[in-house]
Amino acid sequence: MKTSDKPVIVQSDGSILLEVMSPRYEEARDAILPFAELIKSPEYVHTYRITPLSIWNAAAIGLTFDRVQTTLMIFSRYEIPEGVLFRIRDAFSRWDAIRLLRHGDGVLKVEVRSRELLEEITAKPFVRNALIDQIEPLGFTIPEDIRGRFKHLLIKIGYPVNDLVGYDPGDKFPVELRETTLAGQRFTLRQYQTEGADNFWVGGGPRGGQGIVVLPCGAGKTVVGMEVMSKAGTYTLILCTNVSAVRQWISELLDKTTLTRDDIGEYTGNKKEIRPVTITTYQMLTYRKTRNAPFEHMKLMQARNWGLLIYDEVHVVPAPVFRATTEIQAKRRLGLTATLIREDGLEEDTFTLVGPKCYDVPWKELEVKGFIAEALCYEIRLPLPPEKEMEYALASDRSQFRIASENVYKDRVMKDIIRKHADEPILVIGQYISQLKRIAATLGAPLITGATPNTKRDKLYEAFRSGDIPVLVVSKVANFAIDLPDASVAIQVSGTFGSRQEEAQRLGRILRPKERISTFYTLVSQRTTEEEFAHKRQIFLAEQGYKYRIEEWTLDEINL
């Protein structure tokens, strides 16, 4: 291959530039994706980054330093910086430096590569207090019930544990996929869905059966979960973000698998069914009467001999569920998400307690192939009302953000957008309930918030899907796992500061495949902190390759 034909440039900070127009683009992309995280994917040059976590993900599925180095040398136009190779080698050296193996009933053996590392680990108070016996030359034993906490501690000091203990298969329970849905439509898995499920079983090397599948909203992550269930053939516990998502899982399982309603348990506020396939919410698992009281429903984790746990929207798993997960490391675990971004930077927790990333497909790739909708993104900037300018200037930072977010001029712009898209299903999404109540009253549209009863939510979602409701106003409860396949317009009137995770989820509400192009609007108050946070969120969208346009509206235009 001529140097000029090589599409990759490796930079000294560990970032990789990949030229999209190169004839070797797809080959190079597929080669580097297992060990580099996609950061940006605008039109012509995509940016990836090599990090310790991306290397540990690669090592967990069997890649080696030599394989990564050879791949970079094949596709890199210029010489690879020595500092990058050093950091890659160092990250690989930390993987498998500590192994965890079964040693007997309730006891695990820790094998350590060097005497220095052994002394470093056993000096940690948590390990020192839990240590049962020293095993020469370089090992010791610990109780099995600290398996997760031990792994969590070690990754925080830069050593991901190679967990070779294995898994409890759980009680057998067959799950088969249908060839036709209940509506009589032919049902087959798309290639990437099959690959995602297959990679879960080979992910993690010899451990197979733990990991995270990353697919865009609307790409059918639930189907990947069902295929994994069919391969596992065991009792399964599924964790979701809200009750609507629980019921969507139930509906999808009944439609696309041989499971009956008697096989599926709904464990929510209204029902407490525990069956071979049980679906609950993170909120249920973390519910307690007082701050210091025990989690009342965490016993569900041990209620059956589960062989598989599925974490829907795994990137939002709350800390208490992470802590509970540390105690059930013997179960196979599948995480499903559209983005592994956590604004708190705790991606390592997801790696350790759920599993390594085992499959990832860029959003734009699936859009080009027609599996998700094409989307246009607009940021509309508008001034604050003159009477709010002084109040804004004197307010605290948090109050300034809220004043900017609740700008009443947004209501007028929103109405103009709705008129422009009069024949399309429209979602209005926001952060502040008082603002959303005002908007819903202005539009005469129904409003869904966290306080809306689940039965009413489901009826409103169904009415929106059927076209009986043309405009639906939703709070952040609609950020996650809501299937509204016909929504083609989303108007974001306020959000959670600069959350890229939220931006991805909200855009995902309109990415279900459809004939028309979807449109995502964000309304932002000019020259305020909201503009600064919006810039961060929307750079994220542009970096994913979405066409992005900024418009500034004057008072005259708003008052038309």
Pair (485, 538) in one structural domain = yes
CA distance 529 to 401: 6
Could you tell me which of 60, 50, 2, 26 has the C-alpha nearest to residue 364?
Answer: 26
CA distance 153 to 465: 46
Pair (469, 411) in one structural domain = yes
Residue 511: what pLDDT? Answer: 55
Residue 171 lies in a domain: no
- Characterise 166 by phi-psi region: left (phi > 0), alpha (psi -120 to 50), beta (else): left
What tens digit of pLDDT does each residue of 36-45 get?
887 777 768 8
What tens digit of pLDDT does each residue of 119-173 get?
998 998 988 888 899 998 999 999 988 888 888 888 888 899 888 888 888 899 9
Pair (48, 142) in one structural domain = no
Q: Is the pLDDT of residue 547 over 70?
A: no
Residue 542: what pLDDT? Answer: 59
User: Is pTM, for the whole model, over 0.85?
Assistant: no
Residue 87 lies in a domain: yes
Residue 179 lies in a domain: no
CATH number at residue 132: 3.30.780
Mean pLDDT of all residues in 538-553: 69
Decide if 473 contacts 310 (C-beta within 8 A): no
Pair (402, 478) in one structural domain = yes
Which residues, in sequence order, are bridge partners of residue 141?
109
Pair (445, 537) in one structural domain = yes
Residue 256: band (very low, low, confident or very high) from pLDDT cuts 50, 70, 90: very high
Range of the domain at 506: 373-558
Residue 67: what pLDDT? Answer: 95
Pair (415, 494) in one structural domain = yes
CA distance 116 to 159: 13
Cα angle 433, 517, 182 (rounded to 5 degrees) comes to 80
- Of 47-51, 348-352, 534-538, the poorest mean pLDDT is in 534-538
Decide if 221 contacts 213 (C-beta within 8 A): yes
Residue 186 lies in a domain: no
* Four-residue CA torsion sign, 343, 347, 353, 355: positive
Residue 371: band (very low, low, confident or very high) from pLDDT cuts 50, 70, 90: confident
Element (H, E) at 25: helix 25-32
Instruction: Give the end of a domain, one of 94, 112, 136.
Output: 94
Residue type, 80: I
Instruction: Give the end of a domain, one of 64, 94, 124.
Output: 94
Axis-axis angle for helices 243-256, 221-232 (nearest 10): 60
Pair (517, 530) in one structural domain = yes
What tens digit of pLDDT does each residue of 411-454 get?
999 999 999 998 888 889 888 899 999 999 999 999 988 888 87
Pair (341, 281) in one structural domain = yes
465 or 341, higher pLDDT: 465
Mean pLDDT of all residues in 269-296: 84
Pair (256, 117) in one structural domain = no
Task: Write out the two tokens for 210.
Answer: 């733990």
Residue 180 lies in a domain: no
**Residue-averaged pLDDT of the chain:** 83
Residue 222: what pLDDT? Answer: 92
Top mean-pLDDT range of 253-262, 427-436, 500-509, 512-521: 253-262
Residue 383 lies in a domain: yes
Could you tell me which of 439, 496, 445 has the C-alpha nearest to residue 470?
Answer: 445
Instruction: Give the end of a domain, one of 163, 182, 210.
Output: 163
CA distance 124 to 292: 27
Pair (119, 268) in one structural domain = no
Sequence-ordered strand ranges (E) for 313-433: 332-337, 357-360, 375-382, 426-429
Residue 250 lies in a domain: yes
- Of 37-41, 44-48, 500-504, the poorest mean pLDDT is in 500-504
Could you tell me which of 139, 159, 135, 161 has the C-alpha nearest to residue 148?
Answer: 161
Residue 184 lies in a domain: no
Pair (129, 195) in one structural domain = no
What tens digit of pLDDT does each residue of 190-220 get?
999 999 999 888 754 445 678 889 887 778 8
Burial of 455 (0-12, 13-18, 19+ CB in 10 A): exposed
Pair (394, 516) in one structural domain = yes
Q: Give the end-to-end CA distance of the chain in Å, rounded to a whole number.
A: 60
Query: Which string of DSSP letters, residue by residue, matches 435-499?
Result: HHHHHHHHHT--EE-TTS-HHHHHHHHHHHHHTS-SEEEE-GGGGSS---TT--EEEE---STT-
Count of structural domains within the chain: 4
Element (H, E) at 90: helix 82-94
Do the strands 37-40 and 45-49 form a parallel or antiparallel pair, or are they unpaired?
antiparallel
CA distance 167 to 333: 10
CATH number at residue 398: 3.40.50.300
Mean pLDDT of all residues in 379-407: 89
Q: Count Cα atoms within 13 angstroms, Cβ side, for 545.
A: 17
Residue 498: band (very low, low, confident or very high) from pLDDT cuts 50, 70, 90: very low
- Of 342-351, 435-444, 496-505, the poorest mean pLDDT is in 496-505
